[in-house]
Structure 1
Amino acid sequence: MDILIIEDEPGIYNFLKEGLEEEGYNITIASDGIKGVEKFFHAKPHLVLLDWMLPGIQGIDVCKEIRRHDKETPILFLTAKDTVKETIEGLRAGANDYIKKPFSFEELLERIKIHFRNKQEDEILTLGEISLNKSSHQVFSKHKEISFTQREFALLEFLIRNKGKICTRDEIIDKVWNISFQYDTGVIDVFMNSLRKKLNLDKENGYIKTIRGVGYIAND
């Protein structure tokens, strides 16, 4: 799992980086608000640790900017601010949690694990800039929600789950349509054309490529 730490105090972010890397997390650091926003959209982390008081732009504004485009990634505020008003402000901006400085590393680690468990329960699958939330039955492309029929959703889910593997038309009919007898697989092309159109994907160079005479393959 990848964690982005947006924090301007070297003593804190180095301490967090060392401790979290020992726990097996991949860490990216941004030391001001502007770089934090840039690195979030570049690195696409699974969770953000965000300081409230930052150079450039404040943490509360970083949180709002992230939430304008991403509603799913957990954001945990690390801050010395602890009034009810400020806590509410942070949560309304889109934060998932609020940890007061100074904090116990063990407590922070446990909170991170809880949010990762919650995220895994949502079961979010990704393909490049496309994300599919199995629990909420939502699909986002470039941070915009796209409406799919149940069959289109199931087809996209199957392709993403088998990312990097050629999915034959017979496999798709069997697994997505749940039809085990001989069936006209040409119907898949109709649904694939609709799926690509909604996601604005190029037929040959997009995330989902056609393997002529065989099927399809999804790749980031």
Structure 2
Amino acid sequence: MKPIHGVKIMLADDEPHILQFLELGLINEGYEVRTAENGSDAVDLAKEFRPHVAVLDVMMPEMNGFEVCQSLKETEDNIAVIMLTAKDDVDDRVKGLKLGADDYVVKPFSFNELLARIEARLRNQFPDLLGEVVHGPFQVDDRRKEIRYQGQVLELSPTEYELLKFLVLNHGIVLSKSRILDRVWGYDFGGEDNIVEVYIRSLREKLKDKEHRVIRTLRGVGYRVDLL
């Protein structure tokens, strides 16, 4: 994805070498970047800077990443929050997501992984910055709530649209059933997780994906869209 002029990213981490590394990398990608070394400064900076995306380390002095995330989600009109966690702790991920975090990255991570997560959040939460997004054979137009596949408009229900958009905009990333349920159906969904399988099957029929080459199943892990 080509960087969009004027997209603002805030980085908050108490490790200066990580901040410098990420800041230089994102500036080279064309983004406007500001940094904070503790949670309190991050909250103040967000009020002034008004970032589109905030990347927050969980463990920070003064205010931790969870507290900053909650504050940003309560005070900013529309901000995407990506949490950085030092361990692959399910409880940490669940806590962050319940407080409004949109994604998480487990340390250590590659710059390209974080960049892909940032781009996915921009595509999901700021479609007006992007207009129509093209990924391989898919064209996602969030303003018209329309997805084209190989040039043809797909006839999708609202839920099918949201599910396929989520899969396509996160192409190449394995998405678990629980994560899909949280993002597409919401945290308060009280049904069975096999609803995901039902909708995946319907999407495959509409994509004529009998061999599961477009929407792949990784048994015991989740689903991944591969662009052919």
The TM-score, its normalising length taken from structure 2, stands at 0.52
Query: Quick check: 1:79 aligned with 2:85?
Result: yes
36, 39, 58: which one aligns with 2:64 = 58
Query: Who wins on radius of gyration, i.e. which is larger?
Result: 1
Query: Quick check: 1:3 aligned with 2:9?
Result: yes
Total equivalences in the alignment = 126
CA distance in 2, matches of 1:11, 1:71: 31
What SS does the corresponding residue of 1:5 show, helix, strand or coil? strand
Please tell me the residue identity of whatever aligns with 1:67.
K
Specify every segment of 5 or more residues in structure 2 that has no aligned partner in the other structure, as ranges: 1-6, 131-141, 144-228
Query: Quick check: 1:36 aligned with 2:42?
Result: yes
1:111 Cα offset (Å)? 1.1
Query: Quick check: 1:20 aligned with 2:26?
Result: yes
CA distance in 2, matches of 1:26, 1:70: 18
Equivalent residue, structure 1, for 2:103: 97
1:120 Cα offset (Å)? 2.7
117, 120, 123: which one aligns with 2:123 = 117
Moved over 4 A (4+): none
Residues 43 and 68 in structure 2, CA contact (< 8 A), matched pair in contact too: yes
1:101 Cα offset (Å)? 0.4
Q: Percent identity?
A: 39
Query: Quick check: 1:107 aligned with 2:117?
Result: no
Aligned CA-pair RMSD: 1.8
CA distance in 2, matches of 1:123, 1:23: 16
CA distance in 2, matches of 1:83, 1:111: 19
Equivalent residue, structure 2, for 1:205: none
Please tell me the residue identity of whatever aligns with 1:84.
V
Report the CA distance shift for 1:120/1:65 in structure 2 as closer, same or farther (over 3 A).
Answer: closer
Please tell me the residue identity of whatever aligns with 2:20.
N
1:160-191 C-alpha deviation (Å, 9 max, x unpaired): xxxxxxxxxxxxxxxxxxxxxxxxxxxxxxxx
